[in-house]
Structures are given as C-alpha cells and as structure tokens.
C-alpha cells in the first residue's frame, strides 16, 4: 500500500516520500481515507505511531485543493505542550516546503515572548499550531481570527485535559465555525475523552489501534529490582553493557534530574538534565543537541514523556517509576518509534514495588523482576502506613477507613477496638 492509493494527491505523496515516509503506517492507513473524504475522526493510537502525518496530510490536501483568494487561517491544530507544538509545526512545514504553494504555518506557544509570534502572524497563516492559552492571548491581541477554520485537530486530547486546558478549550471552540471537520487524537481513551468526543464530533470514523500487537513498535520491556542507593551504579552498568548510542532517563523531580545528570557527568558520560525549570531556550537547545547525538543521556521529568520525538531512541530508563500507568505508557512511547526497536527498563526499588505492581496491573502485563549480579537488593519495603498516600490507587478502602475510625474511637474511650467473634 502507498499514500496515493489512500487518496493522497501526488504532490503531497511526494512530500511524504521526501521525509522518507515510504509506506503509510497503520494509523495513516486507517485515518487517511475518511479524513481525506472530510469525515470527523476519533483515533486512539499509541504515541510514535505516525499520527502527525495522519492529520497533517489530510488538512494540507484540503487547503491545496480548495484555494482561496486571500490567506485565512483554515486549519487549527491544538496541542498540549510547547515541545509538541514545535514538533508538529516542523512536520507541517517540512511537508509544505517542497510544494512551493506558499502555505504558511504559524506555531504559537507560551513561555516565550509573544511579540515575535504576533509579528510572524502579520501576513496571516493558513495553518496555526498552538497551545490553547497562548492561542487565546494572540486572539485577544487581535492578531488572529479563527472564523474561517475548516479543520480542527485536537492532538493528544487526553493530555490537553490532563493539563487542565478544558476551559481554554471551550473558549477556543466558541471562536470556531460550527461547520467544520474535527480530527481528534488521543493516546488513551476514557470517559472524559468519550464525553469530549460526543460534544465535538459528528458521526466520527472511530480508529482504535492497539498499543501491543503485530504492528506495534517492538519495545522490549524489562523490570530490574535494585536498591534506591544503587540506581546510578545500575544505570551506568546498563549504559556500559547495552551501549545504546543515546538514552532517555526518567526521574521524579527536577532536583533528581540535575543530580543524576551531574553524577553521570562525573563518570565521563555526556549527560544533561531536561525539565520545566530550564528556560524555553535552554530546553530547545538540549533537544536540538540530543537529536544531533551530542548528549549520551538526557535525564528528564515527565515533562518530556509526551511530545518528545527523537527518532531512534534505543533506551528509555525509569530511574524513578511514574505516578500513573498512563504516564508509563507515554514514557515507553519514547522508544520503538515508527517500528524501530528499543528497550524500556524500569528500576523497581523495595519502596516502589507496590506502585510497580499497580502499573503492571493497569497495563495488563506481568514482567519478571530481574536481579542482576552485583545489584542484589538489600532494602526491605517500608511499613504500610500514612506515608503511603503518594501512589494512585493505593488509598485506604472504605473498610480500612471504618476500621481505623473504630479503632481511634475505642482508643479515645480507653477501650479496645471491637473484635469480630470467631466463626462469623
Ligand atoms: P508521530 O507519531 O507523528 O510523532 O511519528 C513518529 C515517528 O514516525 C516520527 O519520527 C516520524 O517522522 C515517523 N513517521 C511518521 N510516518 C512515517 C512513515 N509513513 N514512514 C516512516 N516513518 C514515519
């Protein structure tokens, strides 16, 4: 199968080929025919599956096949993060550049001065890729009108909701024509996404690509038991033995990212932190340098777990486990992109074992917990108690709470808690 047989115009099929997209990925095969026919779309697809081109190509085809005398913004792509905005903008520009059709794409995101973005909009833009907050700012500056938008894309819709953009989303939707095509993509599908889809989409073509399966990228997942104090040594051991040409390491905090990167640096690794505490400029620089393979290791927080598209990332390490199973899916999605193989290794300390079991359960997987020679764990799990509240899904049950309340009341009355008589 090739792009032309899916209904893509020859010039865009050539542009895709120029990006070395020889054959359409499964999400592109599933999305293109209906999206090109103007239908709404609701697609659940794993990260790294090629979803950007799955919406970019149809929206560009619509622009190119219905030229207008005056430039107006006819396509809007809403994304949750700056990194994703920059990345989607790059793909759109790369696809339009060989066409010489004069299509302009504007990319708008917060955290940087608004002025260059306002200046960039002076001649208008056919396509706007934006995070919701900055988009609204730009509209309030009268630098952009959205009343001619024909195609709306919500990319990583679940993340838009996770990051609290629901109100901004409503404000943006109020500025758009009711008559339009809407393409909605989400890595996960839950009640919130279903409700949003029901509100926004008209008889959508539903695509649900499994995260695992014949077409899924070949990611080898491993879990290694280790003491918390030995994690940096284990990381170093893995880098020495697996010799990946790059690795992305996830930690729980900005401080930990700085700390682990500094420790690796001392051990002659080119490692750098990447997190929300860095300026936008510094973050973009790290990303560009990582792409050029100038860093061996980037140590990051969950900021980078979505929207970070580095081709050919052979190793992802969960130095600290993520708080939720969803975040785990997105971290893992940084490797094995577009069919390239990769390894995702989770470090499991005694204190994090309960959390790991929960993540596995939510994902319906059960990995053997490896113990590597020289890294045999000595730590024992902490006593269950009030300090346990940080794990999603590990809150005390109603029964636990009733028991605790009864015990507390009995203690206050100077008695002993009620005991269930034996045999009942
Ligand atoms: P995405 O899910 O859009 O972030 O894409 C993930 C990766 O797949 C990116 O590095 C794309 O450049 C690459 N990609 C997208 N479509 C194709 C294709 N048809 N053939 C090969 N690589 C692709």
Two tokens at 332?
């893992």
For ligand 1, atom 21, name the residue with the nearest CA.
Answer: 21
pLDDT averaged over the chain?
Answer: 85
Q: What is the pLDDT of residue 74?
A: 98
Distance, CA of 264 to chain centre: 26
What would the DSSP string read from start to end of 258-313?
HHHHHHHHHTT--EEEESTTS-HHHHHHHHHHHHTT--SEEEE-GGGSSS---TT-
CB of 338 within 6 A of ligand 1: the answer is yes
CA 49–ligand 1 middle distance (angstroms): 6
Q: What is the pLDDT of residue 120?
A: 94
CB of 39 within 6 A of ligand 1: the answer is no
Give the domain 219-370 fold.
Rossmann fold (3.40.50)
Cβ within 8 Å of residue 370, ≥6 positions away: 222, 223, 224, 225
Atom of ligand 1 nearest to the CA of 338: 8
Distance, CA of 284 to chain centre: 17
CA 45–ligand 1 middle distance (angstroms): 13
CA distances from 206 to 185, 212, 333 (A): 10, 18, 22
Distance, CA of 424 to chain centre: 51
CB of 151 within 6 A of ligand 1: the answer is no
CB of 337 within 6 A of ligand 1: the answer is yes
CATH (one of 3.40.50.300, 3.30.70.3270, 3.30.420.40, 2.40.30.30) for 4-58+68-208 = 3.40.50.300
CB of 53 within 6 A of ligand 1: the answer is yes
CB of 268 within 6 A of ligand 1: the answer is no
Contact (CB, 8 A) for 102 and 125: no
Atom of ligand 1 nearest to the CA of 87: 4
The string of pLDDT tens digits covering residues 324-375 is 887 887 787 777 665 566 889 999 999 999 999 998 887 777 788 888 989 9
Contact (CB, 8 A) for 184 and 156: no
Two tokens at 103?
């299509």
Q: List every span in the chain annotated with CATH 3.40.50.300.
A: 4-58+68-208, 219-370
Q: What is the pLDDT of residue 384?
A: 60
The string of pLDDT tens digits covering residues 47-83 is 778 999 999 999 999 999 998 889 999 999 999 998 8
Which stretches of the chain drop beneath a pLDDT of 50? 212-216, 307, 387-394, 414-424
Q: What is the pLDDT of residue 100?
A: 81
Half-sphere exposure at residue 314, Cβ-oriented, CA atoms within 13 angstroms: 10
């Amino acid at each position: 199968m090739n792009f032309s047989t899916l209904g893509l115009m020859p010039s865009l099929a050539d542009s895709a080929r120029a990006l070395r997209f020889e054959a359409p990925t499964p999400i592109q095969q599933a999305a293109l025919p209906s999206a090109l026919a103007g239908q709404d779309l609701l697609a659940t697809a794993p990260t790294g599956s090629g979803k950007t081109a799955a919406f970019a190509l149809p929206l560009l085809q619509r622009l190119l096949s219905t030229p207008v005398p005056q430039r107006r913004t006819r396509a809007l792509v809403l994304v949750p993060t700056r990194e994703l905005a920059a990345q989607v903008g790059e793909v759109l520009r790369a696809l339009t550049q060989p066409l010489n059709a004069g299509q302009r794409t504007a990319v708008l995101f917060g955290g940087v001065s608004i002025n260059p973005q306002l200046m960039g909009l002076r001649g208008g833009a056919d396509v706007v890729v934006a995070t919701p907050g900055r988009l609204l700012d730009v509209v309030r500056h009268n630098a952009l009108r959205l009343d001619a938008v024909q195609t709306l894309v919500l990319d990583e819709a679940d993340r838009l909701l996770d990051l609290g953009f629901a109100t901004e989303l409503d404000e943006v939707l109020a500025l758009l024509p009711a008559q339009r095509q809407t393409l909605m993509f989400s890595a996960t599908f839950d009640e919130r996404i279903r409700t949003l889809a029901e509100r926004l989409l008209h008889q959508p073509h539903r695509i649900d690509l499994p995260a695992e399966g014949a077409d899924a990228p070949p990611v080898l997942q491993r879990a290694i038991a280790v003491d918390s104090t030995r994690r940096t040594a284990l990381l170093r051991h893995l880098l020495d033995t697996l010799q990946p040409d790059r690795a992305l390491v996830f930690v729980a905090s900005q401080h930990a990212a700085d700390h682990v990167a500094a420790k690796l640096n001392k051990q002659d690794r080119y490692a750098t932190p990447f997190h929300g505490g860095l300026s936008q400029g510094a973050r973009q620089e790290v990303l560009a340098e990582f792409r050029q393979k100038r860093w061996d290791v980037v140590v990051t927080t969950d900021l980078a777990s979505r929207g970070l598209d580095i081709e050919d990332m052979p190793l992802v390490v969960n130095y600290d486990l993520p708080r939720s199973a969803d975040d785990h899916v997105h971290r893992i999605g940084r490797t094995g992109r577009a069919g390239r193989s990769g390894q995702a290794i989770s470090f499991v300390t005694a204190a994090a074992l309960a959390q790991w079991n929960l993540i596995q359960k939510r994902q319906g997987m059960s990995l053997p917990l490896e113990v590597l020679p020289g890294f045999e764990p000595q730590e024992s799990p902490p006593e269950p108690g009030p300090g346990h509240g940080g794990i999603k899904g590990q809150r005390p049950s109603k029964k636990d709470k009733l028991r605790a309340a009864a015990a507390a009341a009995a203690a206050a009355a100077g008695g002993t808690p009620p005991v269930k008589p034996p045999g009942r």
